Structure formats: structure tokens, C-alpha cells
């Protein structure tokens, strides 16, 4: 019976023990020559084992597969052109992190991969132990231990090679490394053009080719690409260089090292501390099991403190600007006019949209602070810290990523849960995502907090409401994972990219992209809803006879209660009164179902109806005159927890493919919000009175 033949490539860094293992595998059955056209030595050997004739090719020792040296080109071309059945990456376990850089690039080539952790005896003497199962899952590879100099693990390596070929459990798939939104966007621009180069795309893969074009790999650049592909690559490179102040090659390398650092933190147990560089010393503090989370929450407190401290003066300028604009528009009508057009422009559009736009400075400053934390590399550390919490409550570690996105907007956050492979963990994450205070809630907080709390408490109150949302999400997710969505959690790698100084251009772009979405929403969705709510608040009109003898304030309240919005609010009042709310807040809560910012817009409309220039005051002043700090806090609490906007409901239905889950989220969060707010208000009244 004829034996089957296999080709196995041995890759690894110089001095990783690769040649020693090659010799142990092949013995005297070796021959040495040169690769065609180059003077690089080519070693081959054979081994007959369990019915297989195995041909081993000892590739040149390299630290990477980027075309900086002839050895790297030879090793890469052999893997791509010869299609070995298995690639064995010999990793010096005593220099684990440095050796894994090559492994990240082998994964990107989608080769059947085995990682041989060589010299584990030296690594153990240095105080390292390895979780091979985790490492294998992170690199989609089988992992074994060897000591090449002693022949330890050689037969295990041979068995693993045969199992890899016969069972193929670790079939090649897409690389696990995500290079960040900015690089991934540029890859998405280049890849469609690369796909049109059918021969090259089929041989190398469109994503891998696109990545190499951004890295300016000289060998790949000379493959005869079309001018369109090269122009697109250059445009992407220039954009990334302006954004970060570094070449894509450096940025990509940082991401790979970040991935490796994440593997190291989660899959290597250090019994003796051996790392002493600056980044490691910083991580000792920031990732400390005792101090890490307090530092994270402390930094977030400083972020919110900055948001109010630096944003308040600019808010005052914008408020003054809208007041002037309202007065300017009013000047076209005689004093005391009841013109519907005047009311629409001044009360509906300026009062509604202006009430939302006024908080743009806070939005800009918050997103700037978040951009600094993200671009510096700290937010990845925060994700690593929260990963420990996620696992304890039964969520996949990756759940923290959409939760971070949720601080911007719940809609992309829910869509971002697609990275979660486990259905139950994904659904549990989706259900609690609206509890992350999105950017749409920030105008509510920025309105309420200065209205009721002293300036030195502004940052603390903002921090408190965000923390309440996080803690409540943790509690509800834990309950869901123990009841309706019971199941095991998955394994996830938190990447730890190296710290870097953010570029001014990068910060400005990341800040403005998010702020522009808010401003665009104010000029479209909020404008439309404000006009609708103005109409609901203004009509039907009260007859003049019903207003005879009433003061201006009493007449205003009578007109408001008579309107459609007022009647809806009055119908809600018996229920919402337990939370400390009146019909005016009730009408604003109805509007907030369309978009959370509309709560502010609607209050602006309600409190501007019938206002004269002589008694003009800001919305915050009016709220302070009509409600207590306890009521103000309860408003924030209810808006934090209650039903998400209609758009979030629709996305939830689409991502879960079920109206049942969407309505469960909508109704469940509203019920929880109502119960908690009632309890807080009623208990708070006991202490206040």
C-alpha cells in the first residue's frame, strides 16, 4: 500500500531552536541547497511516520513576513506558492512575545498552523506557564510544547501534524486582528478594487493584498497592480499618515503587537516578574486588580468635570445667540401677536432645535476626551479591566466593545454585537445596551445638572448617572444570563496596543465625526420632530372667552393643557406623579420616544409658549423655579433607564430577528425605570420633608 505524502514548512525566528527541531525530525535524511535565484540556503528533509512520507522544509529564520529582507521574501513566497499542508511555527517560549509577531502574519495568510512552544523548560525556569488551549484559540492553531535540544515533544509534534491534516479542526479562516476603525475603513476602500485583479486576488486574498499595499510592501507593489489600485492605496496611506502622524506599516505593526500583548496577558501566567519597560510599569498601575477600576472611574469623573467646566461658557454664548435670534425674528411682528408663523419660528424651531444645539460644546468636549483615551491606548486597557467583570456576570468578554460604542449611540452598538458568536450572550448584551448613556442623553443631563446642582457637583452628578447605567446593566445582564439566557461564556482576547501620543489631527477628526452626527441630527430629525411637537403643543386653540380674567401664566397653562400634547400629558399625570413628574414632563417624555434629545426640545417648546421678552429666562432657570433637585435627579434617572428611542427598537428587532425581544427590551426597561424612579422619589421625599 503506497504511503501518503505531506509537505510541512518549519518557520520561526532566528535562534528559536528551529534547526534543532528540524534535525530531530529528519535525522540524517537531509539535503542542503539554495532557493532558485538567490543564495539563501534551503534545507529539506524527510521522515516516514504512521503511513506518511513527510517532507520537511526548514524556512529561513525571520522575525516577520514583510519584504524587508530576502529571507522574509523567500519564506513568504514558499508558503504562498508551494501551499504546504501544514506550517509549524517554532516559538521560543522564553521570548514569547517577540516570537509571536511572526505567528500573527502566518494567521493572516490563512495557513494550517501549528505553534510549537520550544524551550519551555527555560521559560518555566524564568517563571512562565502557558495556557495552550487559549493560545490555540487566539491563533486558530494547535499548540504543543517541545524541548528540541532534548528531543522532548517531537513525536507529539508529528502526531499533531497528522491530526491537523486528517481532521483539519483548525481550518484557515479570517485573521483575528482588527486594525481599528480607521485602517479597516481604508482597507474597505482598497479591497473592492483589488478584487477586480482576479488572478492576484485569488492567489493572495484581497484583504491580505490590500493590507500589504497600505504597508507599502515592495514585493507586492511590483506585482503589476492597476493604476486605480495604486492610487487608492496612496490616498489611504496619506489619510492615515495625516490622521496619526505615522505610516500604516507602523500602525499595523502596533496593532499586531497589541494583539500579542493581549494574548500574553490572558494566556501566560507569570510566577516571576520579568518585564520592566516603561509601558509595562504603566500597565502595572492601570491594570492592577485593586487600583485599575478605581483609576478608570476616576478618569471618567475628570472627563465629565472637564465637560462642564470648559463647556459652560460656550453654552452661555450659544444660549445668548439663540435668545438674540428669537428676539430678532419677533421684531417682525407687533408685540403680543398670536401669529402661528411667529410661534412656529420662535417657539417651535428656535426654542426646540436651539434647546438641543446649545449643548454642542458639551458633546464636543466629551467626544474629544474619549478620543484622547482611545487614541492613546488607554481605552483598550479599560476594556481589559472590564473584561474581568463581563466574564463574572456571564457575558462574553467582547460585550464590552459594543458597550463602549453605546456611549456614542445605541444603534451601532447593537449592530456591533455581531462579533459575539454565542447567541445568548449576544442577546443579553443587546438587552442592556441602552443603559449605556448615549450621546442623545447628554443634552438631558447637561440641562438638568446645572439647573439643580451647584457647579462643584456637576462632574460628580454626571459621573454618577453614567455609573448607575453601567452598574444596572451589569445587574440586569447577570439576571438574564441566570434565567432567560442561561449558558456558558466564550473566550475573547483583549488587545493591548502600545501607548502612543495622539495626533492633533486624529483627535480633531474623531471628535468632529461624532459631533457632526449630533449636529446633523439636530438639523434634520430633531427639527422635524420639534415642528410636530410644536403643533401638538399649540393646537387646538382655547377660545378667548375661556382666557378672560386669567393671568398670563394661567392663560399659558390653560392653553397648554388644552392642546393635544397637554391632554396626553394630563392623561399620564396620575401615573408619573409617583415619580415626581407633572404633565409638562409627561409630554416631553412622549417626544423622547422618537429621539432622547427631543425631551429637551419639547421642554424648550413648552416653556417658551406665550413668553414675552421682558420675562425671558433660560430653560434651566425655569426648571429650577418649577421643580426640586430630587425631581431633577429622577428625570435623569428615568431617561437613563427607560425605553430607548424608536430607531433603537427597530434595530433591536432586526438584529434579534424577533419583535418579542425588541418589545421585551422596550417594555422591560420602561418598567424597571418606572419602579426604580418611583422608589427613589418616594424615599427621597421622606428625607427632604
Fold of 4-167: Rossmann fold (3.40.50)
> Is the pLDDT score of 489 beyond 70?
no
Closest alpha carbon to 476 in 631, 647, 338, 668: 668
Write the pLDDT tens digit of every residue in 215-258: 998 888 888 899 999 999 999 999 999 888 888 998 898 888 88
**For the residues 302-306, what does the mean pLDDT come to?**
80
Q: What is the pLDDT of residue 171?
A: 45
Cα diameter, the chain = 113
E strand or H helix at 45, and its extent? strand 41-49
Which of the 8 DSSP states describes residue 577?
Answer: G
Can you tell me which residue has the cell 492601570? 286
Tens of pLDDT, residue by residue over 442-481, are: 889 988 999 999 988 988 998 999 999 989 998 999 999 9
With beta carbons less than 8 A apart as the criterion, state whether 646 and 592 touch: no
Q: Of 12, 91, 3, nearest to 47 (Cα)?
A: 3
The angle at the Cα of 257, spanning 123 to 86, to the nearest 5 degrees, equals 70
Average pLDDT of span 184-211: 90
Helix (H/G/I), strand (E/B), else coil: 349: helix
Element (H, E) at 202: helix 198-204
Kindly state the average pLDDT of the residues 273-292: 68
Quote the pLDDT of residue 435.
Answer: 93
Q: Answer yes or no: pTM beyond 0.75.
A: no
pLDDT of residue 396: 67
Tell me which of 365-374, 553-562, 589-598, 622-631 is least confident: 553-562
CA distance 108 to 60: 19
Helix pair 646-656, 659-688: axis angle to 10 deg? 140
**Cβ neighbours for 158, distance < 8 A, ≥ 6 positions apart:** 25, 47, 49, 50, 54
Determine the number of helices (DSSP H) and then strands (DSSP E) in the chain.
34, 9
User: Residue 157: which residues within 8 A CB-CB, separation 6 or more?
Assistant: 21, 25, 88, 114, 116, 144, 146
pLDDT at 353 over 80: no
Give 444-479 as a DSSP string: HHHHHHHHHS-GGGHHHHHHHHHHHHHHHHHHHHHH
- Give the pLDDT of residue 341: 84
pLDDT tens profile 406-441: 777 787 778 778 767 778 888 999 999 999 888 778
Residue with cell 429666562: 617
Q: Please tell me the predicted confidence (pLDDT) of residue 611.
A: 47
Write out the three cell numbers for 512: 468632529
| Predicted local distance difference test score (pLDDT) of residue 616 | 43
Q: State pLDDT tens for residues 518-528.
A: 677 667 766 77
pLDDT grade for 648, boundaries at 50, 70 and 90: confident
Rounded distance between C-alpha atoms, residue 371 and residue 377, angstroms? 10
Quick one: pLDDT at residue 678? 96
Neighbours of 684 (CB within 10 A): 17
Whether 42 and 71 have beta carbons less than 8 Å apart is answered as no
CA distances from 485 to 153, 426, 428, 482 (A): 42, 10, 7, 7
Asked if pLDDT for residue 275 goes beyond 50, the answer is: no
Left if phi > 0, otherwise alpha if psi is -120 to 50, otherwise beta: which for 251?
A: alpha
181-275 belongs to CATH 3.40.47.10: no
Residue 493: pLDDT band by 50, 70, 90 thresholds? low
In this prediction, residue 395 carries a pLDDT of 79
Report the pLDDT value the prediction gives residue 663, as an integer from 0 to 100: 93
> Which grid coordinates are listed for 332?
417682525
Q: What is the pLDDT of residue 661?
A: 94
What pLDDT does residue 238 have? 93
Q: According to the model, what pLDDT value does residue 283 have? A: 77
Give the pLDDT score at 578: 95
**SS3 assignment, position 278:** helix
Q: Where in the chain is the domain with CATH 1.10.287.1770?
A: 181-275
Does the pLDDT of residue 389 top 80, yes or no? no
CATH 3.40.50.300 maps onto the chain at 4-167
pLDDT value, residue 349: 78
Mean pLDDT of 109-124: 90
Read off φ and ψ for residue 128, nearest 5 degrees. Answer: -110, 140
**What is the pairing mode between strands 86-92 and 4-12?**
parallel
pLDDT for 267 equals 86
Output the CA–CA distances (angstroms, integers) from residue 589 to 120, 521, 592, 602, in the order listed: 62, 18, 5, 9
User: Which of 39-48, 345-354, 505-514 is the least confident region?
Assistant: 345-354
Span 533-546, average pLDDT: 76
Report the pLDDT averaged over residues 480-485.
90
Query: Which residues are 6's β-sheet partners?
Result: 54
pLDDT 10s digits, 142-187? 999 998 888 889 999 999 999 988 887 544 555 568 888 889 999 9
Instruction: Encode 134-160 in three state secondary structure.
Output: HHHHHHCCEEEEEEHHHCECHHHHHHH
Q: Kindly tell me the burial class for residue 540, based on how many C-beta atoms sit within 10 Å of its own C-beta (0-12, 13-18, 19 or more).
A: exposed
Q: What percent of the chain is predicted at pLDDT more than 70?
A: 88
By three-state DSSP, how is residue 481 classified?
Answer: helix
Please give the share of the chain, as a percent, with pLDDT higher than 90: 25
Least confident residue range of 54-68, 80-94, 459-473, 559-573: 559-573
Please write the tens of the pLDDT for every residue from 608-630.
654 444 444 578 888 888 899 99
Could you give the C-alpha distances from 264 to 152, 284, 495, 509, in angstroms and in order? 24, 14, 10, 32
Asked if pLDDT for residue 344 goes beyond 50, the answer is yes
Residue 284: band (very low, low, confident or very high) from pLDDT cuts 50, 70, 90: confident
Amino acid at each position: 500500500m503506497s504511503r501518503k505524502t505531506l509537505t510541512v514548512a518549519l518557520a520561526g525566528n532566528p535562534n528559536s531552536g528551529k534547526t534543532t527541531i528540524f534535525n530531530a525530525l529528519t535525522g540524517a535524511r537531509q539535503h542542503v541547497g539554495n532557493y532558485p535565484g538567490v543564495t539563501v540556503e534551503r534545507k529539506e528533509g524527510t521522515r516516514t511516520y504512521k503511513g506518511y512520507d513527510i517532507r520537511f522544509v526548514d524556512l529561513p529564520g525571520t522575525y516577520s513576513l514583510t519584504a524587508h529582507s530576502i529571507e522574509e521574501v523567500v519564506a513568504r513566497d514558499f508558503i504562498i506558492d508551494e501551499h504546504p499542508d501544514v506550517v509549524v511555527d517554532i516559538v521560543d517560549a522564553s521570548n514569547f512575545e517577540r516570537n509571536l509577531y511572526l505567528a500573527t502574519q502566518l494567521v493572516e495568510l490563512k495557513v494550517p498552523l501549528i505553534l510549537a512552544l520550544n524551550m519551555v523548560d527555560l521559560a518555566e525556569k524564568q517563571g512562565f506557564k502557558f495556557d495552550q488551549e487559549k493560545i490555540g484559540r487566539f491563533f486558530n492553531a494547535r499548540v504543543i510544547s517541545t524541548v528540541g535540544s532534548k528531543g522532548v515533544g517531537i513525536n507529539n509534534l508529528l502526531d499533531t501534524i497528522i491530526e491537523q491534516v486528517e481532521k483539519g479542526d483548525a481550518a484557515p479562516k479570517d485573521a483575528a486582528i482588527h486594525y481599528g476603525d480607521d485602517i479597516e475603513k481604508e482597507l474597505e476602500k482598497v479591497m473592492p478594487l483589488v478584487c477586480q485583479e482576479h488572478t492576484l486576488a485569488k492567489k493572495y486574498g484581497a484583504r491580505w493584498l490590500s493590507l500589504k499595499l497600505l504597508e507599502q510592501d515592495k514585493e507586492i507593489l511590483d506585482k503589476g497592480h492597476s493604476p486605480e489600485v495604486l492610487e487608492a492605496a496612496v490616498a489611504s496611506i496619506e489619510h492615515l499618515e495625516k490622521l496619526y502622524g505615522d505610516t500604516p506599516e507602523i500602525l499595523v505593526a502596533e496593532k499586531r503587537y497589541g494583539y500579542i500583548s493581549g494574548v500574553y496577558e490572558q494566556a501566560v501566567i507569570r510566577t516571576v516578574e520579568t518585564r520592566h519597560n516603561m509601558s509595562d510599569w504603566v500597565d502595572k498601575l492601570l491594570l492592577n486588580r485593586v487600583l485599575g477600576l478605581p483609576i478608570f472611574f476616576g478618569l471618567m469623573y475628570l472627563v465629565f468635570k472637564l465637560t462642564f467646566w470648559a463647556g459652560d461658557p460656550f453654552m452661555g454664548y450659544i444660549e445668548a445667540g439663540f435668545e438674540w435670534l428669537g428676539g430678532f425674528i419677533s421684531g417682525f411682528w407687533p408685540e403680543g401677536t398670536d401669529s402661528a408663523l411667529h410661534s412656529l419660528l420662535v417657539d417651535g424651531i428656535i426654542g426646540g432645535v436651539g434647546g438641543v444645539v446649545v449643548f454642542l460644546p458639551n458633546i464636543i468636549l466629551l467626544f474629544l476626551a474619549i478620543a484622547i483615551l482611545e487614541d492613546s491606548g488607554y481605552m483598550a486597557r479599560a476594556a481589559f479591566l472590564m473584561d474581568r467583570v463581563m466574564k463574572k456576570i456571564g457575558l462574553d468578554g467582547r460585550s464590552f466593545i459594543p458597550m463602549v460604542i453605546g456611549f456614542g449611540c445605541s444603534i451601532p452598538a447593537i449592530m456591533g454585537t455581531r462579533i459575539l458568536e454565542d447567541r445568548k450572550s449576544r442577546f443579553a448584551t443587546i438587552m442592556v445596551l441602552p443603559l449605556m448613556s448615549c450621546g442623545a442623553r447628554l443634552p438631558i443631563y447637561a440641562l438638568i445638572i446645572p439647573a439643580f446642582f451647584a457647579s462643584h457637583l456637576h462632574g460628580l452628578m454626571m459621573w454618577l448617572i453614567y455609573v448607575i447605567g453601567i452598574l444596572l446593566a451589569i445587574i440586569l445582564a447577570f439576571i438574564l444570563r441566570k434565567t432567560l439566557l442561561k449558558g456558558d461564556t466564550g473566550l475573547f482576547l483583549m488587545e493591548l496596543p502600545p501607548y502612543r501620543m495622539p495626533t492633533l489631527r486624529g483627535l480633531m477628526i474623531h471628535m468632529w465625526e461624532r459631533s457632526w452626527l449630533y449636529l446633523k441630527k439636530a438639523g434634520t430629525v430633531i427639527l422635524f420632530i420639534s415642528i410636530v411637537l410644536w403643533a401638538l403643543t399649540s393646537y387646538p386653540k382655547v377660545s378667548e372667552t375661556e382666557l378672560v380674567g386669567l393671568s398670563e401664566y394661567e392663560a399659558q397653562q390653560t392653553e397648554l393643557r388644552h392642546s393635544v400634547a397637554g391632554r396626553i400629558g394630563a392623561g399620564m399625570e396620575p401615573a408619573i406623579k409617583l415619580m415626581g413628574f407633572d404633565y409638562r414632563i409627561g409630554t416631553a417624555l412622549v417626544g423622547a420616544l422618537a429621539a432622547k434629545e427631543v425631551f429637551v426640545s419639547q421642554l424648550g417648546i413648552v416653556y417658551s409658549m406665550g413668553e414675552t421678552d421682558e420675562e425671558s429666562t433660560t430653560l434651566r432657570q425655569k426648571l429650577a423655579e418649577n421643580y426640586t433637585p430630587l425631581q431633577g435627579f429622577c428625570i435623569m434617572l428615568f431617561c437613563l433607564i427607560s425605553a430607548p428611542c424608536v430607531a433603537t427598537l427597530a434595530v433591536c428587532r432586526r438584529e434579534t430577528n424577533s419583535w418579542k425581544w425588541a418589545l421585551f427590551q422596550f417594555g422591560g426597561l420602561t418598567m424597571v425605570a418606572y419602579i426604580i424612579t418611583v422608589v427613589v422619589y418616594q424615599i427621597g421625599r421622606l428625607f427632604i420633608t
